[in-house]
Structure 1
Amino acid sequence: MIGLWDTTGNEVVKALAAERRNAGGVASGMALTLIVVVDEKRVREAEAAATVAAAAHPCRLLVVVRSDVERNRDRLDAEIVVGGRLGPCEAVVTRMYGRLALHAESVVMPLLVPDVPVVTWWHGDPPEEIATDFLGVVADRRITDSARSPEPIAALRQRARDYAPGDTDLAWTRTTPWRTLVAGAFDTTQAEVTEAIVTAPPNDPTAALMAGWLGSRLGITPRWEPTDGYPRMREVQLRCANGDELTLTRDESQATFRRTGRQDRQLPLVRRPLGDELAEELRRLDADQVYSEALGASAGLTGLDRRPAQRVHVWRDPATAQRTEAQATAHAGPALDG
């Protein structure tokens, strides 16, 4: 590992090139560049997940930690790891302070691997509009996680309003085992589904996307029933026109599948580690139309997949926004007193 403290972007590029030469064959065959935007307190968690994903998808990992934007003096610290503790990848962990943190692209852009896709993952709250962040504009795929928001369902609706082809969310990734088991139930029947019920906590974005998927696939509006203290999506129930009922009920790491006239079956339904979820999303680098339909159905919007894939960077200075808000409050004060 190479540590650079109070350095510059040019020095980081030079140090990475030198470390790649020293590593030799370890630093070859990069399939993509993975940009991870994360808070300082979650850096190790994000690194662990990215290490798992990099084992399946060799990549250059660029970790962006932005702190203390209001600091008067800009500063850049960096760690460079090639074929070390972060597995078979090239990794650059950058910590940006002051106004530099608002212009992370000035450091990140020279570090992108040429001629390979770019994926940006926000391990935490992304910008309200991803188009306002250059790290979202430069990416071919953008990964968020609504479950980490203080208001997950509101965050999911915002992702629908801001959606462009190439966006995805790890809450959607967590529906994969459920969707696999539910879809498999129809291998032996052609019965029309007339009613769907999803039982889950009222703020579960995975359940919201599961309901959206059922609605977009089946042409119905699923009913949402709250769980009684269970922290995650508990059950999916389908009722068919021929009177059959199909129920998938989760119990920790397995699920019970019940179907009218059939014997109950126990099926695996394991909660996967974060790294496995990230690795799944890195398998595809094109737009996920099924996700866009499920997201649109959950938010009551249509035509998400027909939106233009190109994003345009819109620079918004948070300091200017704060000053504008403060001025508006100051002007409003005397009128309220009167």
Structure 2
Amino acid sequence: MTTLWDTTGSAVVKELAAQRRTGGAVLSGVALTLIVVADESRVAEAEEAATHAAEAHPCRLLVVVRRQLEAPAPRLDAEVLIGGRLGPGEAVVMRMYGRLGLHAESVVLPLLAADAPVVTWWHAAPPDRLATDALAVFAHRRITDTSLADEPLAALRTRAADYAPGDTDLAWTRSTPWRTTLASTLDSVSGRRSEPVRVHGGRVEGDSANPTAQLLAGWLSSRCGCPIAVEDGGRKPNSSGVDSVALQLDQDEEVRIHADRKGGAVISQPYRPDAGVALPDRPLGELLSEELRRLDRDEPYSEALEAATGTTELSRRSPEREHVWFDPADPENGNGARPRKRAAAKPAGDS
């Protein structure tokens, strides 16, 4: 590891190139560039999660920490690591002071892995409009986490208003075990009948203020073609905020999945004994790793977000954004900010 104090972007590029020349096989097979935007208070857990994800998805890891934007003079401190504490690949941790933090892309762009997709993850409060952050504009995928917001449901509506294909949310990723269990259970009922199951209604019980519970209900609503609401009550055994899901089927049958306190759930379905299934509260690194498995648009997420927020036609929006300059020290922001003509990278697989 090399630490560069009060340095420049050019010096960071040169140091990374110098270490790369001696890195050998450590640097082969980079699949993407992962940009992590984190608050100083969350850097340690962001680094731990990104390191876990990098073990499954070889990447160049660039951590951006914007500090003290009001500082009178811009400054950049950087750590450059090859095969060190942040995983087997290349990593650069950049702490930006003063107005340099408003132009983080000027340091990040020269560090992107050549010909590799770019994913930006905010382990912090993202901007209300991602187009105001150039680190979002040139990314193929953008990962936020509405559960970190002071008002998660308001943040969920903000993400819907600002949505572009390629956006996703770790609150959505937390619902994966529930979605997998529900899908396999309904498939089991269909197999017994030898015909498709029709869902006529249902409910998600848990914490109605949790965005994961709302997105799970939105996913069920979009898939089942009937409204599924989140009802308060019961225990909230994990970060999903979901205690149980009950679905009313045709032929007067019901499927119910109820979480227990041991990291699992009990499945109750017609004509079969209750069965247990693992439903663990997954660590942040596993959530991030799951999102890095796909670089195309996540249509089930957009459908769930539509149903959860009442916003329509999200999948029809353009996957490209134009950078809108935003200066937090300028009181006129939001009243005449003009977009810069910088189109976003298209999601992988788009023509």
Using the size of structure 1 for normalisation, the TM-score is: 0.94
Q: Residues 257-310 of structure 1, C-alpha deviation per residue, up to 9 Å, x if partnerless?
A: 011332110111011111011000000000011111111110101211110001
**Counterpart residue number, 1:245:** 254
Aligned length: 325
Structure 2: unaligned runs, 5 residues or longer: 191-195, 336-351
Q: Deviations over 1:51-97 (max 9, x none)?
A: 11001110000000001101111100000011011111210000000
> Take 2:93 and 2:151, find their aligned partners in 1: how far apart are those partners?
29
1:51 aligned counterpart, secondary structure: helix
The aligned amino acid for 1:100 is L
What is aligned with 2:306?
296
Contact 1:191 1:242 in 2 (8 A): no
The 1-side partners of 2:23 and 2:332 are apart by: 46
Task: Give the conservation status (yes or no) of the 8 Å contact 1:57–1:282.
Answer: yes
Q: Which residue of 2 is the match for residue 81 of structure 1?
A: 81
**How many Å apart are 1:227 and its aligned residue?**
2.3
Q: Select 1:236's aligned residue among 242, 245, 258.
A: 245
Greater CA drift, 101-110 or 256-265: 256-265
Q: Could you say what secondary structure the match of 1:37 adopts?
A: strand
Q: Which residue of 1 aligns with 2:64?
A: 64
Which is richer in helix? 1
Identity %: 57
Output one character per residue of 1:123-167: Cα deviation in whole Å (capped at 9) or x when no partner: 021011111110000100000011111111111111111000000
Instruction: State the Cα distance separating 1:322 from its structure 2 match.
Output: 7.5
Aligned to 1:315: 325
Q: By how many angstroms is 1:318 displaced?
A: 0.8
Gaps of 5+ in 1: 326-338
Q: 4+ residue runs of structure 1 moved beyond 4 angstroms?
A: 322-325
What TM-score, normalized by structure 2, do the two folds share?
Answer: 0.90
Q: Is the 8 A contact 2:77 2:94 kept in 1?
A: yes
* Residue 200 of structure 1: how far off its partner (Å): 1.4
Q: Which moved more, 1:23-32 or 1:1-10?
A: 23-32
Alpha carbons of structure 1 residues 324 and 48: separation in structure 2 relative to 1, 3 Å: closer
State the match for 2:348 in structure 1: none
The reply to whether residue 277 of structure 1 matches residue 284 of structure 2 is no
Quickly say closer, same or farther: Cα 1:191–1:324, change in 2 above 3 A: closer
Letter in 2 for 1:221: P
- Alignment partner of 1:224 is 2:230: yes
Superposed CA RMSD: 1.4
- Counterparts of 1:122-137 in structure 2, within 5 Å, are 122-137=122-137
**Where in structure 2 are the equivalents of 1:106-117 lying within 5 Å?**
106-117=106-117
Query: C-alpha offsets along residues 3-50 of structure 1, whole Å, 9 cap, x if unaligned?
Result: 000000000000000111122111121100000000111111001000
